[in-house]
């Protein structure tokens, strides 16, 4: 992978490695699916507390699996009208499309929407001026909040655009302070990645394999 990054002629090596990883991950999916099936079957069989949720999970798993494998409800394609399974499994109005559109999408959106409440509760705890640093954070957050909202525009109208909350947010806090901090972290991360990769490649660090020795 490293060599192919520097040599355009050897880029195919990187593609081959990536393909092999995908194959490996696809095979590993069987392990994951088997684990899920066994775990929830066990809970249902032993009538453990909450086994009803496991039954629902298993039903969802099996319905999706069967609908995807058999391409249930997938229309015939104009190119291959004589082959029933020629269309894509995600095609409208297939069962997988329906499951995605009416079950997965709304559920995902619901979970994602919870984020706004959690942001509020986290901000409430974080922005308490308990120390100098916390006070600085609070003031900065307040400026950014005003700079990103219409209230800031109204409040800073008398001083002009150059000194408005929006300008302070964009040209000072985000472009200078935030960017410099982010870049310092990113440089550290890049070097950390290089050092960790070397440790792994040279076999110095094998703790991720379950053994240090």
With beta carbons less than 8 A apart as the criterion, state whether 72 and 95 touch: yes
Other C-beta atoms closer than 10 Å to the C-beta of 205 total 15
Of 46, 47, 79, 111, the one binding another protein (CB under 8 A) is 111
Q: Under DSSP, is residue 113 helix (H, G, I), strand (E, B) or coil? A: helix
Q: Which stretch binds another protein (CB under 8 A): 35-43, 83-91, 150-158, 159-167?
A: 35-43
> For 67-70, which contacts have Cβ atoms below 8 Å and span 24 or more sequence positions?
67/94, 67/95, 67/96, 67/99, 68/96
Q: How far is the CB of 28 from another protein (least distance, A)?
A: 4
Of 78, 79, 125, 132, the one binding another protein (CB under 8 A) is 125
Q: Name the residue among 27, 61, 65 with its Cα closest to residue 41.
A: 61
Of 46, 79, 81, 118, the one binding another protein (CB under 8 A) is 118
- List contacts with another protein (CB under 8 A): 5-11, 21, 24-25, 28-33, 35-36, 39, 50, 104, 107-108, 111-112, 114-115, 118-119, 121-123, 125-126, 182, 185-189, 191-200, 202-205, 207-212
């Amino acid at each position: 992978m490293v060599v192919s990054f520097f040599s355009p002629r050897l880029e195919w090596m990187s593609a081959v490695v990536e393909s092999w990883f995908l194959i490996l991950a696809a095979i590993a999916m069987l392990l994951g699916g088997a684990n899920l099936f066994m775990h929830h079957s066990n809970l249902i069989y032993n009538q453990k507390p909450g086994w009803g949720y496991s039954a629902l999970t298993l039903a969802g798993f099996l319905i999706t699996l069967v609908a995807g494998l058999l391409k249930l409800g997938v229309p015939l394609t104009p190119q291959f009208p004589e082959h029933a399974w020629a269309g894509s499994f995600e095609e409208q109005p297939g069962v997988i499309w329906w499951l995605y559109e009416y079950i997965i999408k709304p559920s995902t959106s619901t979970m994602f929407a919870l984020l706004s409440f959690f942001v509020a509760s986290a901000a409430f705890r974080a922005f308490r001026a308990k120390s100098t640093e916390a006070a600085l954070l609070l003031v900065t957050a307040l400026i950014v909040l005003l700079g990103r909202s219409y209230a800031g525009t109204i409040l800073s109208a008398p001083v002009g655009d150059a000194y408005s909350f929006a300008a302070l947010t964009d040209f000072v806090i985000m472009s200078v302070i935030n960017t410099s901090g982010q870049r310092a972290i990113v440089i550290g991360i890049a070097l950390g990645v290089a050092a960790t990769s070397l440790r792994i490649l040279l076999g110095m660090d094998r703790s991720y394999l379950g053994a240090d020795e």
